Amino acid sequence: MPITTFDDKVAAITGAGSGMGRALAEAVASRNCHVAISDIDTAALAETQELIKSNYSVEVSSHELDVADRGQVEQFATDVVHEHGKVNMIFNNAGVSVTDTAENMSYEDFEWLMNINFWGVIYGCKSFLPFFHDVDEAHIINTSSIFGVVAVPSQSAYNASKFAVRGYTYAMRQELFDTHIGVSCVQPGGVKTNIIKSSRYTTADNTVATKEELISRFDEFAGLTSEQAAEQILRGVLANKAQILVGRDAKTAAIVERIAPTGYQKLLSRLISSMLNDKSP
């Protein structure tokens, strides 16, 4: 059956060096769940590992990982089972963003984002699924976004990746309905993470907001801390929810999209345009 308790389970988490990934690692560890944390940023990953070792009595393994590399992800899954004896969950959490217009965005930036946000999720699912058949309780948790429900200007690549993750996750959930493997799609709204800080940001001219101004505005907009988001995600996993909407803004946006599937676009376009184009005094 899908996960009913985190006690004595093993959770693999990508993007665990900071933000929601680190918060998820600490949250499951606090529930006596062993963790295999991974990130491409080894310094940040070491900080997460030390936090868990210092505060929780669980096994923790650390793995340098580029989720865009299929071979590395496959090895990650094998290493987790080798070091922990089993694996019950994969949190495909790692993600990046690119801010640019659809017309101006380079193929290089688009491919960089899709390789992490979309293919990283595919690699994670396909690499861990075979091992989930060997345990009684298992769960796949893929991080999409509320931007996988509503589209916004300047985020065409991010929208494309998150819409794709949502569709892939729902199809896989249906395929696994009659098994013991649960599948959930996480769709956060504004959560205080480093995703904007580590994003690729292109501006057409000096009349639009700088990256630093955009980071500041995003932090003001974000309604949840990473820790609050992690708690909501874990509740959704235990309830075996197909869709885990994280934050009031995510729930509101999902309702608006159902009521006005295309009607929301003009209003959202103006809102995003205001964030990008209004220079700070």
Render pLDDT for 94-142 as a digit per residue (tens, 0 to 9): 999 999 999 999 999 999 999 999 999 999 999 999 999 999 999 999 9
pLDDT for the residue numbered 277: 60
**Active-site choice (56, 107, 123, 158):** 158
Residue 279, pLDDT > 90, answer no
Domain ranges of the chain: 10-277
Mean residue pLDDT of the chain comes to 88
pLDDT for the residue numbered 196: 47
CATH topology of domain 10-277: Rossmann fold (3.40.50)
Residue 5, pLDDT > 90, answer yes
Q: What percent of the chain has pLDDT over 90?
A: 72
Distant-in-sequence, close-in-space partners of 136: CB < 8 Å, separation ≥ 6: 1, 180
Segment 208-230 shows an average pLDDT of 62
Residue 88, pLDDT > 60, answer yes
170 a catalytic residue: no
> Pick from 200, 221, 212, 215: which is nearest to 97 by CA?
200
pLDDT for the residue numbered 209: 47
Determine phi and psi for 244, rounding to 5 degrees.
-110, 100
